[in-house]
Structures are given as C-alpha cells and as structure tokens.
A and B are shown apart, each in its own frame.
Chain A
C-alpha cells in the first residue's frame, strides 16, 4: 500500500460525496412528481408515453398492485429479450454474423439482465450482435435499473406517509426514473467515455497488420453507449468478455474513475433522496455513513492483500513490488483495482477491471463477502436502498428487544407482521447461495466446470451463486459456467435474489404505509445518530458473518494459508 494509492482512492470518494446532495435533491423532485429543469424537454414525451400505454399517472397503486405491475413489466422485458437473443441471426446489425443463442444461455442471459445481475456466461465480442447489445441488453440496463429505483421510491413513500393505503404508481416511477435520471446522465457519460477513447461505431471489427507482420482482428462496436448505462444502472454487463478490464471499455486511469464514479453516485444519492423524502436528511446521511464504513474497510483489506503479491510466485523469482499482477492491468495498479473490486461488489454492479478469480485469498474474500452482506453498500440503484431499510428495521427491532420497547422506525411501529416478512426476505440470500453451492459441490459434472482445483474451486462455485443471488454479476471466472446446469440454476438464483426478495419487502412497505406515523417522543430510539449507525453495521456484519463464514473458511481463507505454505493444487 502506498500513500499515492490511498490518495487515488480518496479522490474518488470525495467526488462522489460532492455529488450526493445535488443529485439526491434532484431525484427527490423527480419522484415527487415535481417539475425539473428537464420538464420542458421531456414532459411532452412523458405524457405521450402514458397516453399510448393507457396509464393514468395520478392513479396510485396498493403494494400488491405496484408489485404486480413490476412483475408483469419484468416478465414482458424477459420475454422480449429472450426472443431477441434466440432470433439474433435473423435480426439486423449483426456484422459478424453471430448465430442465435442456445435456449439455456438465452434464458440465463435474459434473466441476468432483467434482474439487474448481468452475470455473463457468454463473451460479448464472440456471441452478441450489435442489435442484441443495443436493443436487448442496453434496454434492460435502463429498465432493470429504473425498476429498482421505482421499488425503492415506493418503500420510501411507505415510511414518509401516514395512514395511506397506496405507494405510488409503478409505471410513473419507472418512466420518470428512465427519462429524467438515467437517460440524460447516460448521454453525458457516454460522450465523456468516447472522449476518453471508448469506441462507438456500428462496425464489427477492424483488421490490423502488426509490426511483426501478423493479422490482428480487433473487435469494435457501440461500446461507449452501453458502458455508460452499464455503470449508471449498476448493471455491470460488459460489451466485452473481460468487462472493464478491456482497454476499449476502460482505457485509462481517468476512464476508470468515471466508471466507478458513475456506478457509485446514483445509488448513494438515492439514499440522500430517501432522507429528503421522509423529511429527515440526517437519516439519509446515517445510512450513507454505515455503508461508507463497511465499503472503505473492504477497499482497505483488498488493497492490502493484493499489494503483498502472490507469495508462491515471489518464491520462484518474481518481484512482489507491483503486488499480485495476475489478472490485473498495468494502467490501473493495485489501488484502483482494489477500489473497483470493492465498489462493484458493495454495489450490485458486478463489472470488473481485474479478474477477481486471480486475487489472493483475502483479496478475493472481500468482494464475495460484500455481496453476501446483502448488496447494500450502497447496493444496486434502488435495490440497495430497500435492502438497507430492511436491515434498519431489523436493527430497531433488536434495539427494541434490548430495552423492552416497541420498536419504531421513522415513527412507524415495527410489529410481528413486518418482522416475519423481513426474515423471509433476509433468508432468501443464504438459501439460494449455500443451497445451490452445496448441491453443485456434490455433483461431479458441476465440479468438472471448476478452473482451479482445491479450495479455490469451492470459491469459484460459491462466488457464482453469491453473485447470482446477490444480483451482482461479477465472477471467479475460472468456472466454466456456460453449461445447462449452471445456466439454469444460476438463472433461478438470480430470480430468487431479485423477486423472492422484493415481494416480502413490498408487503412490509404496504403494511407500514397504512400505519400512523407517530411523532418522536422522549422514548424514541433516534435512528439518525452514531449509536444507530454502529448498531446497523453490527447487524449487517453479524447476519452476513453467521450465515457465510463457514463456507468462506473452506474457500478463500484456506486458500490464503495454502498460499503462505506454498501449496498448489
């Protein structure tokens, strides 16, 4: 670790900190239905969209209506994307003449993008036509993110309102998230990316004659436009196989900053917007502080671990000064790779600028553990906020048990019904991750997909289901996941992680919205101070640790000690 490395890391967090308030206030206006500076440009288009879709924007929905609208919309998006991928060969903009995807891979990919996971069992430049990348994957990059934001706004309203049976209108929230937040930012970021050297062309590839006289076919495409929304929507699905490690997705330290900044800013600002909408900005900052403490700790551990280098290689004559460079790019170095790895997993982005599977034991443990904590640091756009609110409710419940009072969060009583649904939601993650991992580890044909034997092999499987259920999308890439078994089970894990999680969350929102919002009294446990932040961090760590520590000990922690002992597999 170096001082310059920490300076590089601090600059990014400082930039995000500066944008949280203005962007948060802007989004609070957007989701309160107020006019913004973009209304003169987009208002007409917004009203036209409602008219042709038969939507009455002022008509609010109950939690069930809101959830059903979201599910129907996601199903329609899935079917459209699945059909497009299967029929790719017959669709336009396919300069390389790629065939349609087989059914299991199309299922996995369509689920992956609709659930905002963006797990990639395919290599972009060797599988996807430009049409599929643009009209298929890019569209779901927008819509799955807008869906997450809408859900978070609905949960926010539940806490802001008193005795109201409705949570807003899903169609309006989703449309406004797309039109007023994602689309304008995507245009700005995409053009900035082109200025930094990301290709943006409809050509398929160009052939160069290298200095030594060989031919080098270089894949091109509409990269910048996809990269922009990939990050803004915390999707993470890259244009190329190696994602943002590819020099065309991430050519320089500057583009690396913009990548991380774009993925971190909306999620963080949405937490601030939450504070604004419930009328307590300090509450927003309290949640942001808890997220920041855990996230920065994650950056520090990975940075430290990777800077030590791989001691097995040091012993055979490799200089550890640059750290562990297998799977990393020279232009980023250890600090910016560690920062990317922690942010992309603390968020549910899942893009990578280095191969997590080649990280050291502890370096690779961090991204996996950050996903297992529930994708709330600050999590995917929207999904991170509602995930964090579930942890906040659990925290006040635990605090209530300790002092013997009825727990309250923002004036809403937390009772049996809410706790039952919260536990249901929280248990989805360990069930999907540990259940599928255990089954896969016992099936010979599933184990055969592993790339590195020994403890790292278990980590590869564990990481895959962690990433899928957490809707993250990053991978320990040694696992050859493009098999019917993994395509199907990872797809199911993604569906559970997104929809089986959010339905109970929305049920909680419905029940909270209908409750009286009582004013704070002397007996109220304040949820916007340092005591609560500490408690919240504790709850997140205890839940995540208790559930996943045994599996992590068998994978990355054994790998760490094997490395120190010089043991290879």
Chain B
C-alpha cells in the first residue's frame, strides 16, 4: 500500500493541473477568442441594455406580451440564478391544484379547453425559453387586443417566429418567447 502513495498523490496533483486548470482554461481561451457571443451566454441587447439571453426564458405577465410556461424556480419564477423543476409526481395533489388554477386563469383570457400541455406545466429547468406553437396561437387574440393590433398581424408574427425541426426531423416546433416579444415591440 505504501508504495502506492507517491504515485497516487503526484498523479492527483498533476491531473488536477492538467484536466482541472489547463483543459478548462484552454477551452475558455479558444471560446472567448473565436465564439464570444455563445461563450458569454447568448445575450440579447436592445438600445445598449442587456434584456436577457436568447436561451433563457423570462417572466411575462402583461397582456401585451406572450406568456411563457409556468416556472418552478424559487423564490420567483424564471430565476436564472437557481434553476429548478417542480419535481412533483403525476399523482401529486399540489400539481393537480396548481394546474386547475392555471387552466382557470387561461380560460378567463379566452383560451379554450383543452389547453396545450406546455401552457400549464412547469418545465424541467424552470427556464424554458420556448412554448409550443399551439400555446402561442392561443394567446394571439389577447395580445392583439391589448396592443390594439390586427389579429392577423400578430398571427403572422407568430408564424414567422415559429422554428421548425431541422430537416423536418431534428428538434421540435417551438416559439422563443423573448424573441417573439422583442419582435412584437418592434412592430
């Protein structure tokens, strides 16, 4: 056992230097030099202010904006410094009560039942930037009314902002809520 101590200690130290410092710092250097936008969080700026990240969802509660999915992060939804899912099981009474309340809230805004599943379920990360095209379409009337816009204009914007799977296979049909709302503000 004793003759193993020297190689054990030297290799832990040497490998820490190699794989724990040299490797991540080298990747860091290349990433920052070649791909700074992605390496720094795919941030979106408007008029010189960072308004969010293209990859991270954020809260929208106003009728003038499209709403994202429910988020289970604490203490506030879409807390991008503490990601979390609800982790509630299918038979959880808390889950059922939360969904009943959300379905009722959405029904009041004119969304007809059955509501799209993503509209009332919390994502795994609590930071899902996307919603389904069905949930986006269901919100068109409300947003158009709040902004005094033609329904057709908002509908065409939603269609424009809907991303399709690559080659029709890889990925899901989805709408990035922040990008859709930015486009809406730019109308």
Q: Is A402 an interface residue (CB 8 A)?
A: no
Q: Could you tell me if A201 and B40 are in contact, using CB atoms closer than 8 angstroms? A: yes
Please report the C-alpha to C-alpha distance between residue A278 and residue B35 in the assembled complex, in whole angstroms. 44
CA distance A227 to B30 in the complex (A): 16
A333–B61 Cα distance when bound, in Å, is: 25
Please determine whether A477 and B87 come into contact, CB atoms closer than 8 angstroms: yes
Counting CB contacts under 8 A, is A248 at the interface?
yes
Checking B83, B89, B169, B174 against A459 with a beta-carbon cut-off of 8 angstroms, the contacting residue is B89
Residue from B23, B40, B52, B178 with most neighbouring chain A CB atoms (10 Å): B23
What CA separation (Å) do A61 and B8 show in the bound complex? 15
Interface window among A191-199, A377-385, A509-517: A191-199
Please give, as numbers and ranges, the residues of chain A lying within 8 Å of B12 by CB-CB distance: 73, 76-77, 80, 139, 143
Q: How far is the CB of B89 from chain A (nearest CB, A)?
A: 3
Known: A318-B99, A354-B124. A201 touches B28 (CB 8 A): yes
Contact in complex: B170, A199 (CB < 8 Å): no
Interface code A350-363, partner B: CB below 8 Å = 1, 0 otherwise? 00111101111100
Contact A211 B89 (CB under 8 A): no
How many chain A residues sit at the interface, stated as a range, is: 35 or more
Partner of A183, one of B10, B19, B50, B185: B19
In the complex, A324→B86 CA distance in Å? 14
Given known A4-B169, A123-B83, A206-B41, contact A248–B56 (CB-CB < 8 A): yes
Bound together, the chains give a CA A73 to CA B9 distance in angstroms of 7
Residues of A within 8 A of B99 (CB): 313, 316, 318
Chain A residues with CB below 8 A from B92, complex form? 451-453, 456, 568-569
Contact, CB under 8 Å: A478 / B89 = yes
Among B7, B81, B96, B181, contact of A316 (Cβ-Cβ < 8 Å): B96
List the B side residues contacting A198 at CB < 8 Å.
38
CB within 8 Å for A125 and B81 given contacts A310-B90, A316-B99: yes
Residues of A within 8 A of B90 (CB): 310, 312, 324, 326, 358-361, 456, 559, 563
Tell me how far the C-beta of B5 lies from the nearest C-beta in chain A, rounded to whole angstroms: 6
**For the complex, what is the distance from the CA of A360 to the CA of B129, rounded to whole Å?**
24
Whether the pair A253, B182 counts as a contact (CB closer than 8 A) is no
Stretch of B114-122, B143-151, B152-160 contacting A (4+ beta carbons < 8 Å): B114-122
Known contacts A191-B31, A214-B59; A452 and B89 CB within 8 A of each other? yes
Q: Is A314 an interface residue (CB 8 A)?
A: yes
Minimum C-beta distance from B174 to chain A (A)? 5
Number of residues from B at the complex interface, CB < 8 A:
103
Query: Of A72, A212, A240, A325, which contacts B4 at CB under 8 A?
Result: A72
By the criterion CB–CB under 8 Å, are A73 and B103 in contact? no
Interface residues of A in 320-379 (CB under 8 A from B): 320-333, 352-355, 357-361
Contact check, B23 vs A328: say whether CB atoms are below 8 A apart: no
Assess the A139–B15 pair: CB atoms within 8 A: yes
**A317 at the binding interface (Cβ < 8 Å):** yes
Give the distance in Å from the alpha carbon of A4 to the alpha carbon of B20 in the complex.
40
Question: Which one of A7, A209, A316 contacts B100 once the chains associate, using CB atoms below 8 Å?
Answer: A316
Is B139 an interface residue, CB under 8 A from the partner? no
A47 to B79 Cα, complex, angstroms: 48
A241 in contact (CB, < 8 A): yes
Of B6, B7, B21, B128, the contact of A247 (CB 8 Å cutoff):
B128
Is A242 interfacial (CB-CB < 8 Å)? yes
Take A123-B84, A331-B172 as given contacts and tell me if A203 and B31 are in contact as well, using a CB distance cutoff of 8 Å: no
* A558, closest chain B residue (CB): B91
When distances are taken between beta carbons in the complex, the residues of chain A under 8 Å from B51 are 208-211
The answer for the CA separation of A7 and B171 in the assembled complex, in Å, is 11
Mark out the residues of chain B between 1 and 53 whose CB falls within 8 Å of any chain A CB in the assembled complex: 1, 4-12, 14-16, 18-21, 23-24, 26-28, 30-32, 35, 38-43, 49-53
Contact present for A330 and B91 (CB under 8 Å)? no
Contact present for A328 and B123 (CB under 8 Å): yes
Pairwise interchain contact A312-B55, C-beta atoms closer than 8 A: no
B98-146 residues at the A interface, CB under 8 angstroms: 99-100, 103, 107, 113-118, 120-132, 134
Cβ of B75 under 8 Å from chain A: no
Interfacial chain A residues near B9, Cβ < 8 Å: 76
A389 to chain B, nearest CB (A): 25
Q: Determine the distance from Cα of A171 to Cα of B181 in the docked complex, in whole angstroms.
A: 56
- Give the shortest distance, in Å, between A143 (CB) and chain B (any CB): 6
Option from B87, B170, B174 in Cβ contact (under 8 Å) with A478: B87
Give the 9 A-B CB pairs with smallest separation, nearest first. Answer: A245-B124, A253-B171, A456-B89, A135-B20, A319-B114, A477-B87, A452-B89, A200-B31, A139-B20
6 A–B contacts, CB within 8 A, in A order: A123-B84, A138-B19, A201-B28, A318-B103, A459-B89, A568-B91
12 new A-B contacts at CB < 8 Å, known A218-B80, A251-B42, A328-B123:
A72-B1, A143-B12, A171-B7, A191-B30, A209-B51, A211-B65, A218-B81, A246-B125, A318-B117, A318-B120, A327-B86, A567-B91
